[in-house]
Structure 1
């Protein structure tokens, strides 16, 4: 008995595209179902702008705290001590919490006096403090 080698087989180099076609068909169905849902209008009620004269907002009241060269304090051009300053600032903050405190230091004033004024203003409850030059 002679065994003979069968004819050499060629390598099969084809890709099975059936799973690829299945995935593509599923994606096509998903897009066909969701496309009409994405094009629906959304019912919104947007806020309308007010007329110009109703949009005007009164600016908040402002106080000017000045630190003098000699270490004194002036609140709206009234000289006062540190204790008086704190009570005046507390009263001003209680009367209108939106009050803006502007702090201005003289050019030769000590830095510590400025820091003390800011600390008193913060302890009085002011959260809107601006520094002026």
Structure 2
């Protein structure tokens, strides 16, 4: 029989958990790699609708001031002959421009930038509050 002070006193009666933790972590990694990825959740989005196209005959359309390549200006369908003062007078006389208080300037590609600015300035001088630039549909 062994004495308690002999070799039996040096025996550790605890479970060594280090190999068990290693095995569990290895199993966890294996299951994580083998698991199916989570499904892609679809986020609802609202896509903008196509803009409403306006024709020149539309009563709700913005009054269009066109400048062609030669520099000739038309307000709506009415050509404006003359200089800046004639354009201001045409815009003041335009009922649509005065009631809507908005116009759009559409210029040819060959028109100088300064000419477009002069037309926009003339529209502001005629008392029109909202002066914009018309563009082709992108």
Query: TM-score normalized by structure 2?
Result: 0.47
TM norm structure 1: 0.48
